[in-house]
Structure 1
Amino acid sequence: MKIENTSDLQVLVHTARGGTLTAAAHALGITPAAASATLKRLETQLGARLFERSTRAMRLTPQGQTLLDYAVRAFELLDEGESLVTADRGELVGTLRVAAPSDLTRSTLLPWFDEFLALHSGVQLSLSVGDRPLDVMRDEVDVALRYGALADSRLVARPFAMTNPLLTASPEYLSRHPAPKTPQDLVHHNCLIFNRGGRRHRVWRFAQNGQWTEVRVNGNRSVDDASLAREWAVAGYGITLKSALDVREDVRSGRLIHLMTDWQTEPYPLHALLPSGRFVPARVRAFVDFLALKFEALTAR
């Protein structure tokens, strides 16, 4: 028996991505019972088991992995066809799935998103905000904005900006603690630790006259949300080392003070990441071009 309704394959795709039928149901806007019934119908029609079920998660069988690969390619081809048809009308339509860091989103991106959606009324934004990087190849993401060096060769990267992190603290904090003059002085300060990829970023690097030095910092607060680290710094709880893009308005307004200005920090690139080998819809290309112009103007200022 053949698959009667190809849209049922969406349950397969989202169950594989989310690891559970509940996650698939949530992504598709249906009940878990409906998702389970759809998956059972698929397996009955194909005469093959697509997932190994357990109490904690669902794992693809070899047959399920084969069908998943073809299903993803089929949906990408449909997306490509839709994009080409609408491009003939000069319109951008469809859902734009974006992942972005939390603080960059709040400090910079939100008004740009509003502007892009106002220019293209046929586009809907699905935004995932957080500092734990998503798997761009596996998760349902069209473009991800990500700080730092790139390690995944399967991704296409477009550079947006190159900044250096700024060491900052609030006037209130500095009224209670002498401003650090050298990296070694940071040992005596409460440093706000930002977690990257599940690891605490405790080693901060600085350079002067071409000589780099490292210091292991400590503090009574660590967090995996960069926007909270910045808010703690503004509130006077400690010193933070963050992207200049994220703290530029706080420094400009005086809420944060740039410290150790005669010391250099490591370059901190920002990229837009897209899966290589995947068709890029017109709305995604237009969005990336739009952001590139915005960041060019911002860094020029």
Structure 2
Amino acid sequence: MDDLRRLAVFAAVVRHRSMSAAGRALGMSPSAVSQQVRLLEKDGGVTLLHRSTRKLRLTDAGERLHVACAAMVAQAELARAELHSAREAPSGELRIAATVGFARHIAPALGELLASHPALSLQLLVDDSPVDLIEARVDLAVRFGKVPDMPWAARRLGSFDWCLCASPQWLAQHGEPASPEALLGHAWVGFARTGGVLMPSFRGPAGQLQTLRIQPRIGSNNQLSIQQMCEAGLGPAMLGMVDVHEALEAGRLRHLLPEWQAGSLDVWALTPQRDAQPAKVRHAIAALGRYLAGVPGMRPPG
């Protein structure tokens, strides 16, 4: 059993990239973690880690051993989760990562779940940048668009249409465009990304396709800020229908070229575990799905 413990400690050191972080995760002191790794190296007669003051680096032997250790730990965690999944109620800390624009939906989506389960707490991490679910100890992340190849589980929660918008004051100054290409000569507000170029595509009522190449004059890495600048009259912008519904209803924004389809964006729930999800995660995903089904501008997964 001591050997199994040492193998699990070694896997935790590699996973968390430091003795201290592994110790915090395991409830051990850094010196105790280091001792377990040294004993493992002594028993095996090989060096598993090269240590420096700043980082750890696996040796060839360490890399080979870690593959087996990680698989062992994963199976142990799966067995433990399966043991408790049938009777587990939502409890403990639920860590959710969401973009700034979507964060406003978390409270109404999960309010009933939190009220019904007093043993469940919530930590909401708000950031438009991608987050490492393992590094940040995130149970559930809400993300948009195409999901790249990753070791995490992804469940589609729905989708929403893009909406080409401008403020009434901008339209009063520049007039109503007759087609997407009529907007090429105007200053746009857009999402800041590598190269700074946007390529929105529009399909017209007769099936014609127009793709624009836009260099936004005003950019941001935050979709909510883009909407605010669009509402202030700084230029047209591509915005999510789920975000602008209230602004359209209130007249702060106008939907340009509503007869042209501007494409859609999928909404995903990402989790670090594919099997035997904790009850807190299962119930949170279900609550998000129910809530989003009733949000104007959202379409449920088909």
Q: TM-score, normalised to structure 2's length?
A: 0.77
Three-state SS of the structure 2 residue aligned to 1:145 is strand
* TM-superposed deviation, 1:275: 5.2
In structure 2, relative to structure 1, the CA distance for the partners of 1:25 and 1:64 (3 Å cut) is closer
Tell whether the 8 Å contact from 1:51 to 1:64 is kept in structure 2 after alignment: no
| 2:211 counterpart residue number | 214
Structure label with greater radius of gyration: 2
Is the alpha carbon distance of 1:72 and 1:153 closer, same or farther for their aligned partners in structure 2, counting shifts above 3 Å?
Answer: closer
**Contact 1:191-1:217 within 8 A present in 2 as well:** yes
Structure-1-length-normalised TM-score = 0.77
Which ranges of structure 1 fall in alignment gaps of 5 or more residues? none
**Alignment correspondent of 2:39:** 45
1:100 to 92, 98, 101: 98
Query: Aligned runs of 1:148-297 on 2, under 5 Å?
Result: 148-152=145-149, 156-195=153-192, 200=196, 202-208=198-204, 209-274=206-271, 277-297=274-294
- Deviation digits for residues 226-258 of structure 1, max 9, x if unmatched? 222222222332222121112222222222221
Q: Could you say if the C-alpha distance between residues 263 and 119 of structure 1 is closer, same or farther in structure 2, counting changes exceeding 3 Å?
A: same
Distance 1:71 1:94 in 2: 21
RMSD over equivalenced CA pairs, Å: 3.6
- Amino acid paired to 1:41: Q
Question: Where in structure 2 are there 5+ consecutive unaligned residues?
Answer: none
* Superposed displacement of residue 215, structure 1: 0.4
**Residues in 1 aligned to 2:47 and 2:210: alpha-carbon distance in whole angstroms:** 56
Report sequence identity in percent: 26
Moved more, 261-270 or 227-236: 227-236
Q: Which amino acid aligns with 2:98?
A: A
Q: Distance in 1 between matches of 2:154 and 2:5?
A: 39
Aligned length: 288
1:131 aligns with 2:128: yes
Q: How far apart in 1 are the matches of 2:35 and 2:263?
A: 54
Secondary structure at the residue paired with 1:292?
A: helix
Offset of residue 164 of structure 1: 1.0
1:42 Cα deviation from its structure 2 partner: 2.9
Of the candidates 122, 128, 135, which is equivalent to residue 119 of structure 2? 122
Letter matched to residue 72 of structure 2:
Y
Q: 1:144 aligns with which of 118, 141, 144?
A: 141
- Given that residues 171 and 257 in structure 1 are in contact (C-alpha distance below 8 angstroms), is that contact kept between their aligned partners in structure 2? yes
Alpha carbons of 1:72 and 1:155: their partners in 2 closer, same or farther (altered >3 Å)? closer
Give the superposition deviation at 1:161. 2.1
